[in-house]
């Protein structure tokens, strides 16, 4: 169902907002920040409150070895990008992009994102997703962007709706997760 191209999407997924910077995890991992600092940032983000609705492999990441394994798993299953605060260069979140089987030269992407509890309620989710949508539009070869959100996660639902996403007509909406789509105009 998911595929991953060799010219990795995460290597092209670079953008900034007023307060955030997004880039491939490998840029941060091999850049100025040491691997240990990167893993510490992962641990700081993956708190029980942030991961409570996520699968078991995303829970209880408390050691450098666990963080290293978590990063490796995310990189193997998705196009994984990091979100940093521009002012402090502090790691504050992640975006995960999953390629769906798509016709022609267009991408249909599923995505998920996480932000550290320390930045919740500051409008960064809305800012981040607005910029992600703009980046997808600028890419020119992305037909749709879709993601799931827990039924009781009013904040994330609001973020998606404010950024032009609508409830998916193609997904079952009867469970604990609502699916939202953003369809791009294509030629």
Each residue's pLDDT tens digit, 47-79:
999 999 899 999 999 999 999 999 999 999 999
Cα-to-chain-centroid distance, residue 102: 20
Nearest residue to 46 via CA among 104, 92, 88: 92
6 has a pLDDT exceeding 80: no
Burial of residue 83, with CB atoms counted within 10 A of its CB: 0-12 exposed, 13-18 middle, 19 or more buried: buried
Extents of the domains making up the chain: 2-183
Q: Write the CATH number of the domain with boundaries 2-183.
A: 3.40.630.30
Helix (H) or strand (E) holding 25: helix 25-29
Burial of residue 74, with CB atoms counted within 10 A of its CB: 0-12 exposed, 13-18 middle, 19 or more buried: middle
Question: Residue 183 is encoded by which pair of tokens?
Answer: 């369809």
Predicted confidence band of residue 31 (pLDDT cuts 50, 70, 90) = low
DSSP symbol at 58: G
Each residue's pLDDT tens digit, 85-142:
999 999 999 999 998 876 677 889 999 999 999 999 999 999 999 999 999 999 988 9
CB 116 within 8 A of CB 92: yes
């Amino acid at each position: 169902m998911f595929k991953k191209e060799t010219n990795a999407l995460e290597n092209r997924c670079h953008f900034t907002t007023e307060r955030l910077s997004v880039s491939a995890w490998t840029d941060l991992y091999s850049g100025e920040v040491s691997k240990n600092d990167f893993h510490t940032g992962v641990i700081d983000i993956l708190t029980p409150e942030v991961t409570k609705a996520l699968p078991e492999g995303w829970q209880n990441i408390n050691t450098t070895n666990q963080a290293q394994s978590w990063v490796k798993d995310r990189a193997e299953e998705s196009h994984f990008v990091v979100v940093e605060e521009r002012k402090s260069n502090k790691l504050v979140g992640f975006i995960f992009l999953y390629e769906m089987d798509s016709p022609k030269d267009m991408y249909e992407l599923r995505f998920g994102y996480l932000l550290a509890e320390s930045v919740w309620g500051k409008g960064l989710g809305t800012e981040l997703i607005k910029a992600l949508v703009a980046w997808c539009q600028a890419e020119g070869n992305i037909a749709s962007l879709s993601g799931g959100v827990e039924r009781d996660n009013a904040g994330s639902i609001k973020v998606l709706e404010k950024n032009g996403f609508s409830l998916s007509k193609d997904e079952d909406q009867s469970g604990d997760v609502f699916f939202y789509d953003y369809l791009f105009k294509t030629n």
